[in-house]
Amino acid sequence: MYEDDIGYAQTRLNKSYVRNQKGEVIYVEGVGGDGSIVTVETEDEVFRHSTLAEIDHTPISLGFINAGDKVFYLQRVPIRGGGYKQGLHPGNCKTTEIKKGESYDHRALPPMKYMLSPRTYIPFRNALGRRTTTAFHKDFALSWDGTCHLLMYKTNCIGKCKGAEIHLDEKYTFMQDYVNEVVNG
């Protein structure tokens, strides 16, 4: 895809996180005039040389990320004036940290070791037992506010949990079927 137009490859790939053919997330430091790319293996931060043919165009997973004691929601946002970027770049994504039912926007990516890891979520019932914020699905998290669990959908608080019973706020009752499917699925 990029081998025919190196300038296009530079525009789309420089300073972005993409996947290679092995499924690993790599950081493209730069694209050379001969089609070679300098990558940083993000786990060990070692510079390596690759080729454009080794880029996989599969998107990096978005949604909630459990990152140690923090939970982030990663989403793409429109990029103005800089053109479209392949993969993730601080200019084309937004990270929202969820704490006590509140959303705090960041223009930086979450720590790479968490973006690199396959997304694993604990079951809803297990998340209820924690007194922290915990994602249990790519779209849902529970956030402990000190008195009860708040149900987060993406970056919005849509209800509360009283025990294992979910009470959606009135304006989100249309989501009841989706919530039930995720919680019981």
Residue 83 has pLDDT above 70, yes or no: no
pTM to 2 decimal places? 0.79
Instruction: Quickly state the pLDDT bin for 70 (edges 50, 70, 90).
Output: confident
Residue 38 has pLDDT above 90, yes or no: no
In the sheet with 55-56, reading across from the earlier edge strand, the strands are 46-51, 36-41, 25-31, 16-20, 55-56
Q: Quick check: 160 and 150 in contact, CB under 8 A?
A: yes
CATH class of the domain at 6-56: mainly beta
Percent residues over pLDDT 90 in the chain: 32
Provide mean pLDDT across the span 40-55.
72
Residue 116: predicted pLDDT: 60
Q: What's the mean per-residue pLDDT of the chain? A: 83
Q: Where are the domains of the chain?
A: 6-56, 63-116, 124-184
Residue 134: predicted pLDDT: 94
Could you read off the pLDDT of 7-30 as tens digits, one per residue?
A: 888 888 888 888 788 877 778 888
Residue 139 has pLDDT above 90, yes or no: yes
Could you read off the pLDDT of 140-157 as tens digits, one per residue?
A: 999 999 899 999 999 999
User: Which residue type occupies 166?
Assistant: I
- Token representation of residue 58: 């599969």
